[in-house]
Structures are given as C-alpha cells and as structure tokens.
Amino acid sequence: MDIKKRLEVAFLWHMHQPYYKDPLTGKYHMPWVRLHGIKDYFPMAALLEKFDNVKASFNLVPVLIEQINDYANNDATDLLLDLTVRKASQLTHEEKSQVLTNFFKVNFRRFIEPNPRYSDLFVKRGVQNPSPKEIKKAAAAFSAQELLDLQVLFNLSWMHSISIEEDINLGDLVAKGRDYTEKDKQYVVFKQREIMSQILPLYKKLQDRGTIEITTTPYYHPILPLLCDTEVAKTSGPWMKLPKHRFLHPEDADWHIREGLKYCDEQFNRRPRGMWPSEGSVSDEVLGLMMANKVDWIAMDEDILFKSLTHYDKKFKDMALFDRRLVYQPYKFKRGSKSLDLIFRDKNLSNMISFTYHSWDQKAAAEDLIGHFRTIREHLRREADLGLVTIAMDGENAWEFFADNGRTFFETLYAHLDGSDSINSTTVSDFLDRQPPVRTLPHIFPGSWINHNFEVWIGQEQDNVSWEYLYRVRKDLEGYTKRLKAKGDGENEALRKAWQELHIAEGSDWNWWYNGKAHVGADNPFDPLYRLHLKNIYRILKKPIPDFLKISIA
C-alpha cells in the first residue's frame, strides 16, 4: 500500500475589535465593528461557504460578538454613521470638517486612487494630512453634492464585492460613481445594517454544517499573564522598568476566560473547545486557568515553543539549530490530572499573508503558499506522518491592502485545497481528535506573539501610567464592593456595571496604542476612551472622579 506523507492546514482567522461603546450613553465612539463587519467578518465566512472540502477555524472575541449583536439587534450607531445619515445639505460647519477628516480613512491605493470622483474630492480636501485648521478652511469650499458624494463613496468603499455582486442596486451605485442622492445613501446604510444582521447567523450555519470551528478569546481581550501578575514580564523582558504597583489579579483573568466561554456557548449553542489567548499571550499560570475552565486546546506563536524548549529543556541550547518540523505537531501541557493541548502557528507563513502577499499577483501568492505547504509535507519525517501547519493571524486588517479585499487570493487558495488529496484543510479540534499530541511541554515561556515578550503592553512610560491608573481604580472598586457586601448589597446592578467597565479597561488595545502609537488630540481617541471607561466606574457608583483620570496619558 502506497502511504503518502499527509499535511493538514489549520487556518485560525482571529476576529477582534475593542469595546468602542460608552455604556452610559449607548454611543459607539469608533465605527470599526460596523465597517469591518461588512468588509471582513461577513465575506470571510461567505468565501468559505462556496467550497465543500475546505475547513477553517474562526476565533471570534466575545467583545466583538457583543458589538455585532448590538448593531444587528439594537440599531446601534456610531459617530461616523451619524455623520453618514445626516443630510449633506444640513451638515454644520463642524460636521463638514468631521466628514472631511474621517471619510478618507480607506486604503488610498485600493479605493481612492482608482476612483476619479473620490480622488478629486481628496485633492480638494488636501492630501498631505491637513491640520484641523486647514480642514475647517477647506470645508467651506465643499458643496452639499460633494459632501453627499463623499458620504456615499466612503461607505461604498467598505462594501465587499460579494455583497455588491449579489445586489444589483449596490452594483448600480458603484457604477454611478458620483452625483448621488440622499435616497442612494439611505440604501447603502440599509444594506450595511442588513449585512450586520447576517454575520452571526452565517457563522452558526457554517459551524453546524461542520465547515468551521468557532473558537474564542478571553472576554474583553486582556493580556492574561499581566492580569495574573505584571512581574511575569521580567522573565521575557528583564530590562523592563515595570509600574510601581504590582497588578496581581488572576481572579480577573479567570473571569475573562470563564465569561468568554459562556457567552460564546450562548451565542452559538456550542461551547468553544479552543482559545487564542489575547495577542497569543501565555504563561504557566494562564495555562493552569485554561485547564481549570476545561479548555481543550490553545494556539500560540512558534517563538513561544522555541523559547520554552531552550529555557526549560537542556537538550535545546540554540534556537537557530531548531528543526522546523517541531512546529508542525501538537504538544501537551499537564498539571496533575488536567491537561491542555497546544499548537503553534507557523509565524513565517502567517506573516507572509499578513504583510507580503498583498503586493503580489493574487493567484501567484496563493500558489506560492500552496508551494510552501507542499515543501513542508515533503520534509515530514516518515511516509506515514501527518503534520499540521497552523496559520494564525489577524482576520480583518490585512485585506484592505489586497486588491478586491483578497478575494482572488482566497478563491485560488481554497480551490487548491478543495481538490487536493495530500494537503487538506482542517479545524484544530478535528485534527487533535485524530492526532492527539505525543510530546509534553513541562513549562511554557511567558510571552506574546510579538517578540515573545510583553513589551508592547508594559514597560514604556505611558503603558506604566496606564497600569497605575488601572491599579488605583480597581483598588477603589474593590473597597467599595467589600463595603456593599458587608451591608448585604453586593449583587446590585450598579456594581455589576462598574465591574463591567473595569473588565473593559483591562483589554489589551488601550496599551497597544500607548506604546509609541498615541497622539494628543482627536486623531487618536483610544486614550480618552480608556479613561472614559475608568471614569464611568465612579459615575455609576455616584462617586467623585479622581483628578488623575482627567489627565491624558498620551
């Protein structure tokens, strides 16, 4: 019997947005859940639906699911949607300036440059990052028709070609190109809301059909090892200067894991078996919490595997000498009677998709990736080997750099896998059920998928100030909670909402933007939004807001 080496490919498309909503006002400060919903979350699943033999895993973060539900079921709105639905002829001068500031936030090469009307409006606004003063001056020269065209063109740019092909009216609007009416604009907004309402039902349909596996991440996407103990950052970054106060709350990390699993179970009638820890961030303590919450497997970056082997196993001294075949097998982590399966992503191939292939011919890029898969298969150790290549990456932000949002790339890639008898796509759980790990890792090196450390989220001045704010506010909230419980009133709704705001503030995205990315002013709203969530704790509890929360960290 001719037994060929077989390779299975697990795509793990990670879908995430931070919590943009102010729970006290119901207003979304940023539009990215809605815009990525229509451009990425719906079409990424719709593309897969067309292939009978292609499978993938979609990692849906609970905070994202919650916000998609809000748009789909509660008519949620955001600042840019409000600017869209406002009649162009009724925009105030300030609103005109906001339109000119925000409605060119699309990939220039893919959406503005090829569109004559969009390009003309861009030139009229000013192409070299005009200042707020310059934008206000330019706004006075824009007619109502030009602003209306800009409102429509911006929102059409976020529509995927799948949705445009399926709707003749959208196709006509794209072809029209200019001189839009308010009725045209209303139709685009209507279609956006319709697509938002279709996202989660489509994922559940594909899950129930066996095409996809839905995995998740701790609820508000925190860096779990740092919630458990900020001192863990010293292991992977001994040079770091950490915040004055040590944040030490594994109970918060446990809450995010437990509630994330529970919410996904409620949404899809199936408890996720796997998790992508936020930013691939792990430690021994975090893996212990995963096991305690009965998670079957987690995915991480390959550097975590190599660092774990060199740091804890004397047989491995030099990462440069590693056999890459170590990446293409699962591992087991054990503590007592509990265990957790571990898989590691191929960093190089994942990053090729994220950062390189967009500049290639899309068919050639997909065929190149298939060529890499074939090479990996050929270099497996024995003819009977079954290897696993894990592609884990951001499932939303890369595609705007591809022509047509990467549609040709995906269709070519999936078509190859659909017809192959030696390279198959799989969900992670399906693979592990058939090929459980035989090798055990006694310890996991604490780090993330970025440089196998935590330097993006702690150690820089602004990051450390952010952790100090979080420490001080949590201490106040904990004290208030204890006092209420002593009075027998520890379960009231105000307290629940206050803790929700604290958990939102524990998300990773705020510090992501502080580490060298933040700017003072309206061009980067993450700092005021982070402090807003902390301020809301005091507003909910009817307590004075501390002065330090009124000072911009950025």
Please report, for the domain that includes residue 510, its CATH number: 1.20.1430.10
3-class SS of residue 158: coil
CB 413 within 8 A of CB 370: yes
Count of domains in the chain? 3
User: Is residue 409, in this structure, part of any structural domain at all?
Assistant: yes
Residues 288 and 423 in one domain: yes
Does the global pTM surpass 0.75? yes
Residues 257 and 138 in one domain: no
**Which two three-digit tokens encode residue 341?**
């399966």
CATH code for position 364: 3.20.110.20
Residues 543 and 501 in one domain: yes
CA dist 328 and 378 (Å) reads 12
CA dist 171 and 163 (Å) reads 9
CA dist 47 and 205 (Å) reads 14
HSE on the CB side for 433, CA within 13 Å?
A: 7
Which residues sit opposite 318 in a β-bridge?
Answer: none
Taking only the tens place, the pLDDT of each residue in 244-292 is 999 999 999 999 999 999 999 999 999 999 999 999 999 999 999 999 9
Residues 282 and 429 in one domain: yes
Domain boundary among 182, 209, 236: 209
Residues 423 and 511 in one domain: no
Domain boundary among 209, 240, 264: 209
DSSP sequence for 307-338 = HHHHHH-TT---GGG--GGGGGS-EEEEETTE
Looking up tokens 């290897």, which residue turns up? 387
Is residue 320 scored above 90 in pLDDT?
no
Taking only the tens place, the pLDDT of each residue in 79-91 is 999 999 999 999 9
Taking only the tens place, the pLDDT of each residue in 153-178 is 999 999 999 999 999 999 999 999 99
**Residue 433 CB contacts under 8 Å (≥ 6 apart), including other chains:** none
CB 501 within 8 A of CB 536: yes
HSE on the CB side for 80, CA within 13 Å?
A: 20
Residues 35 and 178 in one domain: yes
Q: Which residue has the higher pLDDT, 128 or 368?
A: 368
CA dist 354 and 347 (Å) reads 10
Percent of the chain with pLDDT over 90: 89
Residues 38 and 96 in one domain: yes
Supply the range of the domain harboring residue 509: 461-550
Taking only the tens place, the pLDDT of each residue in 10-52 is 999 999 999 999 999 999 999 999 999 999 999 999 999 999 9
CA dist 61 and 482 (Å) reads 31
Percent of the chain with pLDDT over 70: 96
Residues 225 and 159 in one domain: no
User: Is residue 118, in this structure, part of any structural domain at all?
Assistant: yes
- pLDDT band at residue 189 using 50, 70 and 90 as cut-offs: very high
> Where does 242-397 have alpha helices with state H?
250-268, 284-292, 302-312, 347-351, 362-378
- pLDDT band at residue 2 using 50, 70 and 90 as cut-offs: very low
User: Is residue 542, in this structure, part of any structural domain at all?
Assistant: yes
Tell me, what's the pLDDT at 319? 54
User: What's the whole-number average pLDDT of the chain?
Assistant: 94
Is residue 70 scored above 50 in pLDDT?
yes
Residues 114 and 186 in one domain: yes
- pLDDT band at residue 518 using 50, 70 and 90 as cut-offs: low
Residues 507 and 411 in one domain: no
Looking up tokens 């890792």, which residue turns up? 441
User: Is residue 454, in this structure, part of any structural domain at all?
Assistant: no
Lowest mean pLDDT among 57-61, 362-366, 375-379: 375-379
